[in-house]
């Protein structure tokens, strides 16, 4: 599709393209395939993806200066843009994402890695004993993608300990609240006390489950949804603008 740049912010490296269909499309600097200069009013060709413009080619001149392409030529240009190879710096690097703790990891690549590891955990969960050992080994890549995502947000990698601390607190609540009540009831030998201990234990387990769920899910959403810190930071360059 053809359109023209209506605005561009050099700080966030994002802008807006108005397409020939009248709709506005958001774009980022790394989505531009050819043409280095970004000037408001310049005509572009791009591939729309929802409300986002991808595979952008900046054309010479302003929107008014550009002759309208014939339908066949426009289709060919769009198809060529759609199949343009992703620049190596923007491609998903499996080895770096899952094994290294160095650098930064953008949101898109974090979710790709997360889904890969989630699928692997589900599969190995069906394998007796060896699957348990593999699950332990998968802690490393889980920590790697989390630490690099935190780096991309400008945060310390030590924040990756939050869900583990939440799990430990949940375990202590279940053990002390539930197990402690049962032990006291058993020592007393009172049937009513045993019933009360059972209810107390169920409440402690429910509370522990809630603590674990809120801590783990909240942390995952925070890490997975917060955008990259603009520009370079102490952990490396912004992966979106490489």
Q: Which secondary-structure segment (H or E) carries 59?
A: strand 52-62
pLDDT value of residue 162: 93
Is residue 133 located within the same domain as residue 210?
Answer: yes
Nearest in space to 242 (alpha carbons), one of 79, 28, 57, 42: 28
**Alpha-carbon torsion angle 98, 104, 106, 109, nearest 10:** -10
Beta-carbon contacts of 16 under 8 Å, excluding residues fewer than 6 positions away, are 5, 6, 7, 8, 24, 25, 26, 27
Of 22, 55, 84, the domain-final residue: 84
Q: What is the pLDDT of residue 34?
A: 67
Residue 84 pLDDT: 43
Residues 62 and 35 both lie in one domain: yes
22, 21, 20, 46: which is closest to 32 by C-alpha? 46
Q: Are residues 176 and 149 in the same domain?
A: yes
> Which of 37, 61, 84 marks a domain boundary?
84
- Rounded to whole angstroms, the Cα distance separating 32 from 53 reads 9
Q: How far apart are CA 6 and CA 39, in angstroms?
A: 9
pLDDT in tens, the chain (242 residues): 888 889 888 777 888 999 988 889 898 888 887 665 788 888 888 899 888 888 888 886 654 444 444 445 544 454 454 444 444 445 777 788 899 999 999 999 999 999 999 999 999 888 888 888 898 999 999 999 999 999 999 999 999 999 999 989 888 887 887 666 666 656 656 666 666 666 667 777 888 889 889 999 999 999 999 999 998 899 998 888 75
Is 165 found in the same domain as 106? yes
Residues 100 and 136 in one domain: yes
> Taking the model in full, what pTM does it have?
0.56
Count of structural domains, the chain: 2
Please indicate, yes or no, if residue 172 is contained in any of the structural domains: yes
- CATH number, domain at 29? 2.40.50.140
Q: Are residue 42 and residue 113 in the same domain, yes or no?
A: no
Number of H helices, E strands in the chain: 8, 6
Cα–Cα distance, 127 to 177 (Å, whole number): 33
Q: What is the DSSP letter of 40?
A: T
Biggest distance spanned by C-alpha atoms of the chain: 92
Q: What is the residue range of 9's domain?
A: 2-84
């Amino acid at each position: 599709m053809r359109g023209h740049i209506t605005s561009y912010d050099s700080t966030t490296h994002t802008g807006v393209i108005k397409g020939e269909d009248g709709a506005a499309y958001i774009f980022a600097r790394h989505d531009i395939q050819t043409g280095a200069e970004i000037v408001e009013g310049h005509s572009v060709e791009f591939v729309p993806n929802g409300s986002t413009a991808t595979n952008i080619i900046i054309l010479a001149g302003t929107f008014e200066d550009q002759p309208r392409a014939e339908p066949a030529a426009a289709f060919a240009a769009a198809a060529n843009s759609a199949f343009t190879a992703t620049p190596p710096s923007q491609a998903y690097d499996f080895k770096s994402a899952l094994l290294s703790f160095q650098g930064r990891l953008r949101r898109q690549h974090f979710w790709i890695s997360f889904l890969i590891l989630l699928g692997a955990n589900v599969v190995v969960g069906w394998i007796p004993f060896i699957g348990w050992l593999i699950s332990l080994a998968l802690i490393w890549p889980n920590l790697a993608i989390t630490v690099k995502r935190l780096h991309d947000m400008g945060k310390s990698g030590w924040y990756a300990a939050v869900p583990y601390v939440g799990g430990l607190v949940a375990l202590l609540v279940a053990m002390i609240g539930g197990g402690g009540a049962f032990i006291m009831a058993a020592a007393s030998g009172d049937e009513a006390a045993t019933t009360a201990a059972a209810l107390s234990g169920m409440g402690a387990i429910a509370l522990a489950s809630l603590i674990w769920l809120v801590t783990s899910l909240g942390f995952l959403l925070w890490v997975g949804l917060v955008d990259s810190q603009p520009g370079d930071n102490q952990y490396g360059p912004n992966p979106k603008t490489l």
